[in-house]
Structure 1
Amino acid sequence: MSLANHLEELQRKHGDIERQIDIALSHPSIDDLEIVDLKRRKLAIKDEIEKLKASPTTH
């Protein structure tokens, strides 16, 4: 997988998790721990995206 494809896939996953968070927040019966887990996964993906964008191989 090329770096560009990997970044696109990570950005897609980031968006998917963001939508899952929005859906979870609209349902009051969803466990807070599930929302925290989704936010943690979203942040980890964002960190990986930023790390890849900042690496010398992307410039």
Structure 2
Amino acid sequence: MSLSSHLQELKKKHQNLSTAVEHLQRSPSADGLHVAQLKKQKLLLKEEISRISSNMH
């Protein structure tokens, strides 16, 4: 897998997590722990995306 395609896949996963977090936060019965875990995964993906992007330039 090329670095560029890996980066695109990470961005796609990040967007999917964003959507999931938004939906969960709108739900009155949302599990706060689950939302926090998703946000942590999202942050880790964002950091990796930033790291890869800076290495490509």
TM-score (ref. length: structure 2): 0.96
Cα deviation, residue 30, structure 1: 1.3
**C-alpha separation between the residues in 1 aligned to 2:18 and 2:26?**
13
Across the two proteins, how many residue pairs are aligned to each other?
57
**C-alpha separation between the residues in 1 aligned to 2:31 and 2:19?**
16
Q: Could you say which residue in structure 2 is the equivalent of 1:48?
A: 48
Percent identity over paired residues: 37
Structure 1 stretches of at least 4 aligned residues deviating more than 3 Å after TM superposition: none
- Mapping of 1:31-42 within 5 angstroms? 31-42=31-42
Cα distance per residue 1:25-45 (max 9 Å; x no partner): 010101100110010000000
Cα RMSD (Å): 0.6
- The unaligned stretches of length 5 or more in structure 2 are none
- The unaligned stretches of length 5 or more in structure 1 are none
TM-score (ref. length: structure 1): 0.93
